[in-house]
Amino acid sequence: MASVLVLNGPNLGRLGSREPDVYGSQDLDSLRELLVATADGRVEIDLRQTNDEAELISWLYEAVDTATPVILNPAAFTHYSYALRDAAALVTKAGIPLIEVHISNPHARETFRHTSVISGVASGVIAGFGFSSYRLALQGILDA
Protein backbone atom coordinates (compact mmCIF):
# COMPACT_ATOMS: atom_id res chain seq x y z
CA MET A 1 0.00 0.00 0.00
CA ALA A 2 1.71 3.15 -1.17
CA SER A 3 -0.75 5.79 -0.12
CA VAL A 4 -4.14 6.56 1.43
CA LEU A 5 -6.50 9.08 -0.15
CA VAL A 6 -8.13 11.36 2.43
CA LEU A 7 -10.97 13.05 0.58
CA ASN A 8 -12.97 15.94 1.95
CA GLY A 9 -16.19 17.34 0.52
CA PRO A 10 -17.80 20.76 0.46
CA ASN A 11 -17.04 23.48 3.00
CA LEU A 12 -14.35 21.44 4.73
CA GLY A 13 -11.78 23.78 3.19
CA ARG A 14 -13.07 26.30 5.70
CA LEU A 15 -12.17 24.19 8.73
CA GLY A 16 -10.54 26.40 11.32
CA SER A 17 -13.02 29.23 10.89
CA ARG A 18 -16.21 27.29 10.02
CA GLU A 19 -18.46 26.74 13.05
CA PRO A 20 -15.56 26.11 15.47
CA ASP A 21 -18.07 25.11 18.16
CA VAL A 22 -18.98 22.10 15.96
CA TYR A 23 -15.79 21.40 13.98
CA GLY A 24 -13.02 22.76 16.22
CA SER A 25 -10.48 25.43 15.34
CA GLN A 26 -7.91 23.38 13.45
CA ASP A 27 -7.62 23.48 9.67
CA LEU A 28 -6.87 20.87 6.98
CA ASP A 29 -3.11 21.47 7.27
CA SER A 30 -3.32 20.43 10.93
CA LEU A 31 -5.32 17.36 9.90
CA ARG A 32 -2.67 16.44 7.34
CA GLU A 33 0.05 16.77 9.99
CA LEU A 34 -1.91 14.54 12.39
CA LEU A 35 -2.33 11.84 9.74
CA VAL A 36 1.27 12.01 8.52
CA ALA A 37 2.38 11.54 12.15
CA THR A 38 -0.04 8.62 12.58
CA ALA A 39 1.15 6.99 9.36
CA ASP A 40 4.74 7.31 10.61
CA GLY A 41 6.18 6.59 7.17
CA ARG A 42 4.08 3.44 6.57
CA VAL A 43 1.91 5.11 3.91
CA GLU A 44 1.80 8.44 2.14
CA ILE A 45 -1.13 10.70 3.08
CA ASP A 46 -2.76 12.24 0.01
CA LEU A 47 -5.26 14.70 1.53
CA ARG A 48 -7.57 16.63 -0.79
CA GLN A 49 -10.65 18.85 -0.51
CA THR A 50 -13.20 19.96 -3.08
CA ASN A 51 -16.57 21.65 -3.17
CA ASP A 52 -17.25 19.94 -6.51
CA GLU A 53 -19.21 16.67 -6.56
CA ALA A 54 -17.81 15.71 -9.99
CA GLU A 55 -14.23 16.16 -8.79
CA LEU A 56 -14.89 14.06 -5.70
CA ILE A 57 -16.33 11.31 -7.91
CA SER A 58 -13.31 11.46 -10.21
CA TRP A 59 -11.04 10.98 -7.19
CA LEU A 60 -13.00 7.84 -6.26
CA TYR A 61 -12.45 6.52 -9.80
CA GLU A 62 -8.76 7.22 -9.27
CA ALA A 63 -8.89 5.18 -6.04
CA VAL A 64 -10.38 2.26 -7.99
CA ASP A 65 -7.85 2.53 -10.81
CA THR A 66 -4.88 2.69 -8.44
CA ALA A 67 -6.31 0.36 -5.72
CA THR A 68 -5.81 3.07 -3.10
CA PRO A 69 -7.71 2.94 0.24
CA VAL A 70 -9.96 5.93 0.94
CA ILE A 71 -10.91 7.91 4.01
CA LEU A 72 -13.92 9.97 2.90
CA ASN A 73 -15.63 12.84 4.64
CA PRO A 74 -18.43 13.49 2.15
CA ALA A 75 -19.63 16.52 4.21
CA ALA A 76 -23.14 17.60 3.12
CA PHE A 77 -23.02 15.17 0.13
CA THR A 78 -23.35 12.45 2.78
CA HIS A 79 -27.01 13.17 3.10
CA TYR A 80 -28.21 13.26 -0.50
CA SER A 81 -25.64 12.42 -3.18
CA TYR A 82 -26.63 9.15 -4.82
CA ALA A 83 -23.97 9.85 -7.45
CA LEU A 84 -21.28 9.89 -4.78
CA ARG A 85 -22.76 6.75 -3.22
CA ASP A 86 -22.56 4.92 -6.55
CA ALA A 87 -18.93 6.00 -6.98
CA ALA A 88 -18.12 4.92 -3.41
CA ALA A 89 -19.69 1.53 -4.19
CA LEU A 90 -17.26 1.14 -7.09
CA VAL A 91 -14.42 1.43 -4.57
CA THR A 92 -15.69 -1.09 -2.02
CA LYS A 93 -16.99 -3.53 -4.65
CA ALA A 94 -13.44 -3.55 -6.02
CA GLY A 95 -12.33 -4.79 -2.58
CA ILE A 96 -10.70 -1.48 -1.65
CA PRO A 97 -11.47 -0.10 1.84
CA LEU A 98 -13.46 3.13 2.02
CA ILE A 99 -14.07 4.52 5.50
CA GLU A 100 -16.71 7.24 5.90
CA VAL A 101 -15.74 9.75 8.55
CA HIS A 102 -17.34 12.76 10.21
CA ILE A 103 -15.84 15.27 12.59
CA SER A 104 -19.14 15.81 14.37
CA ASN A 105 -21.76 13.18 15.24
CA PRO A 106 -24.42 13.84 12.57
CA HIS A 107 -26.93 11.72 14.52
CA ALA A 108 -26.86 14.22 17.39
CA ARG A 109 -27.61 17.14 15.03
CA GLU A 110 -30.43 18.22 12.69
CA THR A 111 -32.74 15.50 11.38
CA PHE A 112 -31.53 15.87 7.78
CA ARG A 113 -28.05 14.83 8.96
CA HIS A 114 -29.33 11.54 10.41
CA THR A 115 -29.39 9.92 6.97
CA SER A 116 -26.22 8.90 5.18
CA VAL A 117 -26.60 7.58 1.65
CA ILE A 118 -22.89 6.63 1.77
CA SER A 119 -22.78 4.39 4.87
CA GLY A 120 -24.49 1.46 3.14
CA VAL A 121 -21.62 1.05 0.71
CA ALA A 122 -18.76 2.06 3.05
CA SER A 123 -16.42 -0.48 4.68
CA GLY A 124 -16.91 1.32 7.99
CA VAL A 125 -18.11 4.58 9.52
CA ILE A 126 -16.48 6.69 12.25
CA ALA A 127 -18.16 9.86 13.51
CA GLY A 128 -18.08 12.24 16.40
CA PHE A 129 -14.42 12.14 17.44
CA GLY A 130 -13.24 15.39 15.85
CA PHE A 131 -10.06 14.94 13.80
CA SER A 132 -9.54 11.66 15.65
CA SER A 133 -12.30 10.20 13.44
CA TYR A 134 -9.77 10.37 10.58
CA ARG A 135 -6.93 9.08 12.78
CA LEU A 136 -9.02 6.07 13.85
CA ALA A 137 -9.97 5.40 10.23
CA LEU A 138 -6.31 5.46 9.20
CA GLN A 139 -5.45 3.14 12.08
CA GLY A 140 -8.16 0.75 10.88
CA ILE A 141 -6.77 0.77 7.35
CA LEU A 142 -3.23 0.20 8.62
CA ASP A 143 -4.38 -2.65 10.89
CA ALA A 144 -6.34 -4.43 8.12
CB of 28 to ligand DQA, least distance (A): 12
The answer to whether the annotation marks 79 as part of a ligand binding site is yes
Does residue 84 bind ligand DQA (CB under 6 A)? no
Does residue 102 bind ligand DQA (CB under 6 A)? yes
CB of 131 to ligand DQA, least distance (A): 10
Does residue 72 bind ligand DQA (CB under 6 A)? no
**84-117 burial code (b ≥16 CB/10 A, e <16):** bbebbbbbbeeebbbbbbbbbebeeeeeebeebb
Determine whether 23 is an active site residue: yes
Angle at alpha carbon of residue 74, lines to 51 and 27, rounded to 5°? 70
Name the CA radius of gyration of the chain, rounded. Answer: 14
Considering only 7, 63, 103, 138, the residue that binds ligand DQA (CB under 6 A) is: 103
Q: How many residues does the chain have?
A: 144
Angle at alpha carbon of residue 34, lines to 29 and 37, rounded to 5°? 125
Q: Which of 67, 78, 61 is nearest to 120 (CA)?
A: 78
Does residue 75 bind ligand DQA (CB under 6 A)? yes
Considering only 49, 50, 68, 78, the residue that binds ligand DQA (CB under 6 A) is: 78
Does residue 122 bind ligand DQA (CB under 6 A)? no
What is the rounded CA–CA span in Å between residue 98 and residue 141?
A: 9
The answer to whether the annotation marks 113 as part of a ligand binding site is yes
Q: Provide the binding-site residues for ligand DQA, judged by CB under 6 A.
A: 11, 73, 75-76, 78, 102-104, 106, 113
Pick out the residues of the known binding site for substrate.
Answer: 73, 79, 86, 103-104, 113
**Catalytic annotation, residues:** 23, 102
